Amino acid sequence: MARKKDGLAVFRLLFAILLLTASLGARELPIRSFTTADGLADNRVVRIVSDSRGLLWICTGGGISRFDGAHFQSFGVAQGLPFPAINDLIETPEGDLWLASNGGGVIRFSLSSATRRYEAFPVSSEPTSNRVNRLMRGPDGAIWVGTDGGLFRMAAGANGTPAFTRVSLRRRGHPDEMVQVWAIVRDPEGSLWVGTRFGLIRILSGGRIVSYAIRRNSETDNVFSLLYTPEDGLLWIGHQAPCGHFLWTAREGQLAVGRRVHQPRDNAQIRQSPGRESGIATRAGRGGSF
C-alpha cells in the first residue's frame, strides 16, 4: 500500500479501540484519544487486531504497539523491527506474530522465544508484492497474503521458512502484478472473497473465480473492506466512489443495493466487536454502528 494512496487510510485509534472492546450495552462511551505522547508507536494508525489474550495490537506507520487497556508497549526500528510501516498482523498458534509490512514483505515476530527476534521474508522479487496490505489464515493453516502486486498463498517451507505462491485473479486487462488487494475474507462455504482495486473477486472452493464489478465503466473499482457476518449470511462490502463511500451487502453471491455512508475520499473500515456489533470507522474519525 503506497503511502500516497487514500485507500485503506488511517482511521482513528479511539473508535477502533471502542469497537473492538465494546461489551457494554450503552451506546455512549467515554472518549479518549491516544497518541505517541501516550506511548503509541506512531500517530498514523492503519489497523488494530485483538490477540488470543484480549490484548490489542496497533499497526502504524512507525511500528506496532501492544495495548493492555492502560499502557502501550511499542516495537519499532529501534527495537529491531526490519521495516517500520506495518499494515496488518495475525497471531500464530504458538503466540508469535506475522506482520504485513508496507515495503519489506512479511515479517515474523517471535514473541515466544526468550529473546524477541524478527525475520523478514520477501513475498517475491517484485517491489509491489512486498507492500503487503492484508493477511488472513485459512482453515488449513496457510496464510493468504494480499499485496499491492496481487494475491499470494503462504505455506511453511523448509526449516520453517515461508514459501509464497501467486494466486492468479484473472482480471481481464489487469496483470496480477498490478492488482492491489485490499481485503480478504472467507465464508462458510469455503469461498475466498477478495477486495481489490478493480472490484470484488470470489474464489470458490473448487478454484473457479467469479468477478463482481461494483462500479462499472470506471478506471478503478476499489473494494477497501470486507466483513462476513455468519448470523445473517451477509457479506458487507466497503467501496469507494467519487460521490462517497458506499456500503453494499451480498448474500448467496448476489449484490444488494448499496447505500452511501460517508463523504468522498473518506475511506471506511468495517469491523465487528466481540459482542457481534458491526461498525464503520473512517479516516476522518466519523463512525457509527449498524
Percent of the chain with pLDDT over 70: 71
Q: 136-154: per-residue pLDDT in tens?
A: 999 888 999 999 999 999 9
pLDDT at 20 over 80: no
pTM for this one?
0.79
Rg of the Cα atoms in the chain: 18
Query: What is the pLDDT at residue 285?
Result: 43
Q: How far is CA 24 from the centre of its chain?
A: 26
Domain boundaries, the chain: 1-8+168-290, 34-163
Q: Could you tell me which residue, 270 or 15, shows the higher pLDDT?
A: 270
pLDDT at 96 over 80: yes
pLDDT at 118 over 60: yes
Mode of pairing for the β-strands spanning 45-50 and 56-60: antiparallel
pLDDT at 244 over 50: no
- Amino acid of residue 1: M
Same fold? 1-8+168-290, 34-163: yes
Query: What is the pLDDT at residue 111?
Result: 85
Query: What is the pLDDT at residue 27?
Result: 58
Query: Any residues with CB less than 8 A from the CB of 285 and at least 6 apart, and which?
Result: 11, 12, 14, 15
pLDDT at 174 over 80: yes
Q: 190-222: per-residue pLDDT in tens?
A: 889 999 998 899 999 888 998 888 777 777 888
DSSP assignment of the chain: --TT--TT----HHHHHHHHH---S-S--------GGGT-S-S-EEEEEE-TTS-EEEEETTEEEEE-SS-EEEE-GGGT-S-S-EEEEEE-TTS-EEEEEBSS-EEEEE-SSSS-EEEEE-S-SSGGGGBEEEEEE-TTS-EEEEETTEEEEEEE-GGG-EEEEEE---BTTB-GGG--EEEEEE-TTS-EEEEETBEEEEE-TTS-EEEE-SS-S-S-B-EEEEEEETTTTEEEEEEEETTEEEEEEEETTEEPPPEEEE-TT--EEEEE-TTS-EEEEETTS-EEE-
Query: What is the pLDDT at residue 67?
Result: 95
Query: What is the pLDDT at residue 286?
Result: 41
pLDDT at 5 over 50: no
pLDDT at 65 over 80: yes
Query: What is the pLDDT at residue 275?
Result: 47
pLDDT at 14 over 80: no
CATH number of 34-163: 2.130.10.10
CATH number of 1-8+168-290: 2.130.10.10
